[in-house]
Amino acid sequence: MTKYKIKIIFLFLTFVFLITNVAFTQDRIIKLDKELKNLAKTNPSLLEMVDVSVSGVSIQEFLRGVASNVKVNISVDPSLQITVVNNFSDVMIIDMLLFLAKEHDLELSITGNIISVSKYNPPVKETPIQKPRELIINYNKDKDLLSYELNNDSLSKVTREITKQSDKNIVLGTSITGKTVNGFAQNMSFEKGIEMLAYSNDLLFIKNEEGIYMLDKPEPTKNNNQGNNANQNFKTTKKETKSKDTALTVIMQGPDSILVKGQSVQIADVVKEVSEKQGVNFCLISEIKGKTNINFSGITYEDILNNLFSGTDYTFKKQNDIYLIGETKAFALKSFKVIQLQNRMVDKIAEVIPAEYKKDVEVKEFVELNSLLVTGQATKIAGVEDFIRNIDKVVPVVLIEVMIADVTKKKTFSAGVNFGLGDNSSQKTQGSLFPTLDMRFSTNTINNLINSFNGFGWFNIGKVTPGFYLSIKALEENGILRLRSTPKLATLNGHEAKLTIGNTEYYVEEQNNVVGTQNPQNITTRTYKPVQANLSVTIKPYVSGDQQVTLDIKVTQSSFTARISESAPPGQVTRNFESLIRVKNEEMVLLGGLEEQSNSDTGSGVPFLSRIPVIKWLFSSRTKEKKNSRLNIFIKPTIIY
């Protein structure tokens, strides 16, 4: 695949070169045509028509014969080795010269009325002088921290710049003075930075007791002690060699497709070999230890690193086209990502993430953006993000329609006779006869009624004393009261929706305080305190995958009863129930059974006489009341996405 792409690129460049060359030649011929036509204005012989047929004649002899025939001054470079084979018929001298210049790549120079013919030498393009790339190297002397970003930079220039900034001598071996290096380090200790630069570029790093650093080509030997024999004044601090007992195979199958095979191979060797084959820039932040058995085919470079470091203490991070590789605890390998939630609230979402996902990862809630800020290893962050994406689903909204119907039936019967003495002589007889009987008779009306009976035989009742009155009452009431309300509530799945309807009454609470000892004063404080009677409905919906809705319902109803005195708080009656039901989407359910019944039979009258049948209605007053109240609640959930 790679060879095929190289051929395509080569053919494309060749085609571009040919097109450019043809365009340039065409421009040159047009320029010569203009110059010859200008010369023809003073020498019309150039416009004459000629017939010429030659074969195997040198260009010098050909043009000399043409010039003699038409009286044109033509000078031909004797060094030209061109043989002319042409047959020109009825052609102008100008066209013939232009044809020869184009056909044989000739230059026509005009001096006065003389035409000079020579070999055309194209102008040499000046190659722009490229500025050397500035080295990106920084050294903090106060903290002894070294930072660099290298990309195919000369090792000798790099060490010279580091020595200038740090005043620490670095010596290069003669075999590596022309070597180029790659690497990246950010605020790393000086010695560690030089050590990582050497290790990532297959160099031997040595430091002696005097603090002089040496970089050299590693020796092809298994015995690390031989490095000490080269110079007893130096101490070898790092050296890595590949084991000959193991075989590592790395084959490029495509631009980003790699085959890797190996048994008991060093992880560091796999990283270096694959990186070199892929042609990527990498830097080892820390030493990679351990062996692995590996067998991948058709896999990308980053997938190899992900699988290679899975379950280890190593990771990688791509920064500015450079792969930083090392231990997960290294600060330079820390990554962060803002994961924005699309359908859920970020509040308390961090508590849902399993502890295994949050290991070695810091998760913080960013409420303003409804996002999570995750800091840690890149692969760990990817695991947290995958978990968040799996649970960040659309949360259904449940619209709950509640219909409350409260029906109260009441029946009251009141009857009796009241009479007595009072200052009612001036009061007129008044009241109603239909549909209720409620009359009050004055003294004069009662006496007139008695007089109508006094003329019958011996029966003589007499008259009532002034101020005597009589009241007769007979009343029956029936009533049905229906109260209905249809509120609508909306809430997220798994969250409560609460409705409260009620009224408030007040009662007075007095408090007496005595202030002072010699002249005590009594201060009375009156406080109006509220008492509430409410109908409260609390519903928490849970939506299932089959469009079923589970409703957790709590209903509480309280109502006022009569006060035991005017200053006492009103009494209360409370009814409540809880229910857990399951209904289909847009299906209505009826909740009932909150029923209240009350019977009342009260009366007052003359002792003993008020209990005798029939005549008891003349000596007493009675009231009977029967009340029945029922509360029904209809609930209809509707799922909205």
Residue 521 scores a pLDDT above 60: yes
Bond from prior residue into 122 cis (ω within 30 degrees of 0):
no
Distance separating the N- and C-terminal Cα atoms of the chain? 50
Sign, CA dihedral 260-264-268-269, equals negative
Listed residue (440, 438, 432) closest to 475, CA to CA? 438
Classify 547 in phi/psi space as left (phi over 0), alpha (psi -120 to 50) or beta.
Answer: left
With bands split at pLDDT 50, 70 and 90, how would you rate the model's confidence at 228?
very low
Instruction: Report residue 380: phi and psi, to 5°.
Output: -65, -40
The H-or-E segment that residue 162 falls in is helix 155-166
Which DSSP symbol is given to 313? S
CATH class of this structure's domain 248-327: alpha beta
* Topology adopted by domain 334-391: Ribosomal Protein S8; Chain: A, domain 1 (3.30.1370)
**Mean pLDDT (whole number) for 218-231:** 45
Residues of the chain with CATH 3.30.1370.120: 334-391
Of 285, 325, 320, nearest in space to 301 by CA: 325
Whole-angstrom distance, CA of residue 95 vs CA of residue 303:
67
Whether the per-residue pLDDT at 242 is higher than 60: the answer is no
pLDDT tens across 171-209, in order?
887 778 788 888 888 888 888 888 888 888 888 888 777
pLDDT at 609: 66
Kindly report the CATH class assigned to 136-216: alpha beta
Q: Which of 581, 579, 590, 582 is nearest to 630 (CA)?
A: 590
The stretch 547-569 carries a mean pLDDT of: 82
Asked whether the predicted pLDDT for residue 21 surpasses 70, the reply is no
Residues of the chain with CATH 3.55.50.30: 1-119, 136-216, 248-327
- pLDDT at residue 59 in the model: 80
**What is the reported pLDDT for 456?**
56
Considering the domain 1-119 in this protein, what is its CATH number? 3.55.50.30
CA–CA separation, 140 vs 35, rounded Å? 68
- Determine the average pLDDT of the residues in 378-396: 86
- Alpha helices, H only, 51-154: 59-70, 93-103
Is the model's pLDDT at 1 over the cut of 50? no
Which pLDDT band holds residue 542 (cuts at 50, 70, 90)? very high
Could you tell me if residue 238 is left (phi over 0), alpha (psi between -120 and 50 degrees) or otherwise beta? beta
Structure confidence at residue 94 as a pLDDT band (50, 70, 90): confident
The single-letter code of the amino acid at 488 is: K
Place of tokens 């709590």: 554
User: What pLDDT is stored for residue 171 in this prediction?
Assistant: 82
94 vs 4, more confident = 94
Going by their DSSP bridges, the two strands 257-266 and 234-238 should be labelled as unpaired
Give the DSSP letter of residue 200. Answer: H
CB 376 within 8 Å of CB 361? yes
pLDDT at 18 over 60: no
- Asked if 471 contacts 388 with a C-beta cutoff of 8 angstroms, the reply is no
pLDDT of 606 higher than 50: yes
The model scores a pTM over 0.85: no
Does position 578 have pLDDT exceeding 80, yes or no? Answer: yes
For residue 528, what pLDDT is reported? 83
